[in-house]
A and B are shown apart, each in its own frame.
Chain A
Amino acid sequence: MAESAVLSDVGYYFYGVVPAGTDVAGLRGLDDVEVESVEHDGLAAVVSALTLARPPGRSQELVAHARVVDALAQVTEIVPAQFGSALDHDVTEVAGFLDDEGDRFRAVLERLWGKVQLNLRATYESDQVLTELVQQDPGVAELRRRTRDLPAGVPHPDLVRLGEAVSRALTRKRTEDAETLLDIVLPRVSDHVVRQGGEYDVLDAALLVERPALPELEHELEGLAEVVHERMKVRLVGPIAAYDFMEGMTWG
């Protein structure tokens, strides 16, 4: 086997690992370059040739990465790589990488077998939830009464107190409502990770779901979204690759 010189200005952008035999034909990644798979011992590294002399990662590259990884997640299990990794443009090295880490890859693929991730986010209609807080929390109601005629934007201590009271009451309400949502959802998922949400988010969760359970989960969430729609909007994204279930793995 001839030793080929590794071009120093081209690398292999790395998207993740899938089972060998996965069809990657027609997938295009960063710079619209065709995706390839490098196979070794039942595993396949998903890569594409990448010119290395370039400015730091930009949004179109992030989108391309997600597009490739999520397209594969629709049809097979994938261990998704973090954005931005380029290996040497050397098939032997890539195969060596699969060899070194093969057992770990196989263990993760097995754990993910038949499952996909979905992201669930429920967000309060802010006016509605703030109205509830005023109606249900006497402290908030009183501070609101006291501060109604103060000029906005000026940090009067009572305004700050009102904001703090709202924040505390909102946290209590969010905790309760999030629990209710999780009670509905958790019986239908294999695993979940609760993520940090925005100010008016009720819940932001990554769900790991068995594929056959997905239609029923969607059905429950559609019913839920209708029932709660005056208080919150419910958003479900996916199936996507199991990004949140890699347990913070650092390899190599």
Chain B
Amino acid sequence: MTVQTSRRSGGGYLERPAPSGLADVVETILDKGIVIDAYVRVSLVGIELLTVDARIVIASVDTYLRFAEATNRLDLYEKGGKDLTEAIGDLQESGAAKKVGGAVKGVKKAITGSSGDDEDDEDERPRRRSSSSSRRRETSRG
């Protein structure tokens, strides 16, 4: 049986909020659940609640301008940013690989779409540095 407690304190990247805030509740339950109108005496649904759900995405000129502005605001030379394959490589190096579940080890293949990579060996692996698109992928084995 695995002990969960150490995992919680180490990293803790998964957000696990209690579903009690209004925004969460609206997302979760508004318009969901069974409708029993034929039996209902009174409905409490009012206009005030219908305006709370603000997550509707409408493709429009405003949306595009927002994307454009956000893209132009980027400071590309500051933002290194690892891509997913680098992040997984680092995780494996740091010895944290053991806490990564089996399914996540397969993530690398899916994200890069590479079929040649053989990630199945759990033993010491040579250091892999997977490239971003502008550099050639280096594969070192053995």
| In the bound complex, CA of A80 to CA of B100 (Å) | 35
Query: Could you tell me the dominant secondary structure of chain A's interface residues?
Result: helix
Number of A-B contacts (CB under 8 A): 285
Q: State whether the Cβ of A59 lies closer than 8 Å to any Cβ in chain B.
A: yes
- Shortest A179–chain B CB gap in Å is 7
Known pairs A57-B46, A58-B48, A65-B29; A88 contacts B107 (CB<8 A): no
Complex CA gap A184/B107 in Å reads: 8
Given contacts A62-B26, A82-B33, A130-B70, contact A226 B11 (CB under 8 A): yes
Given contacts A67-B20, A84-B43, A219-B2, contact A163 B13 (CB under 8 A): no
CB-contact partner of A136 in B56, B111, B133, under 8 A: B133
User: Is B32's CB under 8 angstroms from A82's CB?
Assistant: yes
Among A227, A238, A251, the one with the most B-chain Cβ atoms within 10 Å of its Cβ is: A227
Interface residues on chain B, size class? 35 or more
| CB-defined contacts of A235 to chain B, threshold 8 Å | 14-17
A49 contacts chain B at the CB level, 8 A cutoff:
no
**Shortest Cβ distance from residue A95 to the other chain B in the assembled complex, whole angstroms:** 12
Q: Is B101 at the interface (CB under 8 A from chain A)?
A: yes
Does B99 count as interface, using CB distance less than 8 angstroms?
A: yes
CB of B68 within 8 A of CB of A166, answer yes
Instruction: List the A side residues contacting B84 at CB < 8 Å.
Output: 227-228, 231
Contact with B along A157-192 (1 / 0, CB 8 A): 001101110110010000011011001100100000
Q: In the complex, what residues of B have CB within 8 A of residue A215's CB?
A: 2, 4
Give min CB distance, B59 to chain A, whole Å. 7
Q: How far is the CB of B13 from chain A (nearest CB, A)?
A: 4
Given A59-B52, A62-B22, A199-B63, are A237 and B17 also a contact pair (CB < 8 Å)? yes
Q: Assess whether B24 is interfacial by the CB under 8 Å rule.
A: yes
B68 → chain A, closest Cβ, in Å?
A: 4
Residue of A nearest to B64 (CB): A163
Cross-interface CB contact of B110 among A152, A160, A179, cutoff 8 Å: A179
Binding site for B on A (CB under 8 A): 11, 13-14, 16, 52, 54-59, 61-63, 65-67, 69-70, 79-88, 97, 119, 126-128, 130-136, 140, 144, 147-148, 152-153, 155, 159-160, 162-164, 166-167, 170, 176-177, 179-180, 183-184, 187, 196-199, 215-216, 218-231, 233-238, 240-241, 243-244, 246, 249-252
